Amino acid sequence: MTRFAMLAGSVALLSFMWGCATPPPPDTRAADERAIREIEVEADKAAAAKDLDRYVSFYADDAALFFPNTPLVTGKDAIRKTTDALFATPGFSLSFKTTKVEVSRSGDLAYSYGTNTVTMNDPKGKPLTDKGKYVAVYRKEPDGKWKVVADIGNSDLPPPAPPPKKK
Amino acid sequence: MTRFAMLAGGVALLSFMWGCATPPPPDTRAADEQVIRETETEWAKAAAAKDVERFMSFYADDASLFAPGTPTATGKEAIRKGTETLFATPGFSLSFQTVKVEVSRGGDLAYCSGTYAMTMNDPKGKPVNDKGKYVAVYRKEPDGAWKAVADINNSDLPAPAPPPKKK
């Protein structure tokens, strides 16, 4: 009986330890990075087409938009309004290109950064092109889709010189 | 012998299943958020003191700084140059305040957003105030310290008017 108990105990212990050594969750980061790069390609196409619905669809409901020279815009409805006005600006065009994507080990949070080009007409109707950069933070939603939670950019170009004062 | 084998097998199976039910890794997000908020407070103190060394210590080695008016600066050497120039600008002062922090489930990536106030003298020596917003993405390093990998901001204030053209 004793030998049986010892043997059963050993088998139990070894099996328990073997069962305890559960493998870590699968590393989905390469696939996540590809998914995010594809989203940015699609968003760039939506911007080129000025397809407001498609462009806004990439934002999470609680996303925040950090546009230069205007206060923070939060929530998808407000982002839609802002983007609508932007797309409607005379001479407007926007294109952007991903440089880098980094995904958390748990595959639920990520960020990207890249470069962009924005063109708009000045008050005289002359197209002005601005080159800049952006950072986007993404969250993976329960359905597995990545959505933008923070979108921020700024220009690479120095600000215009202040007007000369008459002496 | 057969009954022994069956019993041993049963014990093994049950032990394995019990061992398999390992709890998920602990959720450190609340603690991580606290640390990140404290990190930002310390970072703001370094900015207030114009302490370049201390300010630089909050960036990861491969960090990128996305400052307005200049292209993306990647790597600590490039970021340091920009920071030295900024801190040395006459009348310079910078303060910032964390608003939101979000941490990945695995506690290795996070982002925060907040507001800043910056002052610099214009070429005539008059202080010019700027208010704006920022996003910082953080990565937890192997030693447990959170370091900024992306730092980007832009102003809330309208862009300065272009200089009037003489007719």
Give the pLDDT band of residue A4 (cuts 50, 70, 90): confident
Q: Is the pLDDT confidence value at B110 over 80?
A: yes
Determine, yes or no, domain membership for B161.
no
Q: Does domain A27-155 have CATH number 3.40.50.1220?
A: no
pLDDT at B113: 98
Range of the domain at B151: 27-155
Better-scored residue on pLDDT, A21 or B129: B129
Shortest Cα distance, chain A CAs vs residue B167, angstroms: 13
Minimum-distance CB partner of B66 among A70, A133, A163 = A133
Q: Provide the 10 A C-beta neighbour count for residue A50.
A: 16
Determine, yes or no, domain membership for B61.
yes
pLDDT at B164: 61
Minimum-distance CB partner of B109 among A72, A109, A134 = A109
Cβ within 8 Å, pair A154-B154: yes
> CB-based contact (8 Å) between B86 and chain A?
no
Total beta-carbon pairs less than 8 A apart between chain A and chain B: 165
What is the phi/psi pair of residue A58, to 5°? Answer: -85, -5
Determine, yes or no, domain membership for B63.
yes
Q: Which residues of A touch B162 (CB under 8 A)?
A: 122, 160
Buried b (16+ CB within 10 A) or exposed e, B119-134: ebeeeeeeeeebebbb
Measured CA to CA, the distance from residue A142 to residue B110 in angstroms comes to 18
- For position B35, which CATH number holds? 3.10.450.50
Chain B (142-161) residues lying within 8 Å, Cβ to Cβ, of chain A: 149-150, 152-161
Determine, yes or no, domain membership for B131.
yes
Better-scored residue on pLDDT, B121 or B18: B121
pLDDT at A142: 96
What are B74-90's pLDDT values in tens digits? 999 999 999 999 999 99
The DSSP call for residue B86 is: H
Minimum-distance CB partner of A109 among B7, B19, B102 = B102
Shortest Cα distance, chain A CAs vs residue B82, angstroms: 13
The residue-averaged pLDDT of A92-103 equals 97
For residue B53, what are its two tokens? 């060394």
Q: What is the pTM of this model?
A: 0.86
Number of domains in chain B: 1
In sign, the C-alpha dihedral spanning B142, B143, B145, B151 is negative
Measured CA to CA, the distance from residue B152 to residue B7 in angstroms comes to 64
Determine, yes or no, domain membership for B130.
yes
Determine, yes or no, domain membership for B162.
no
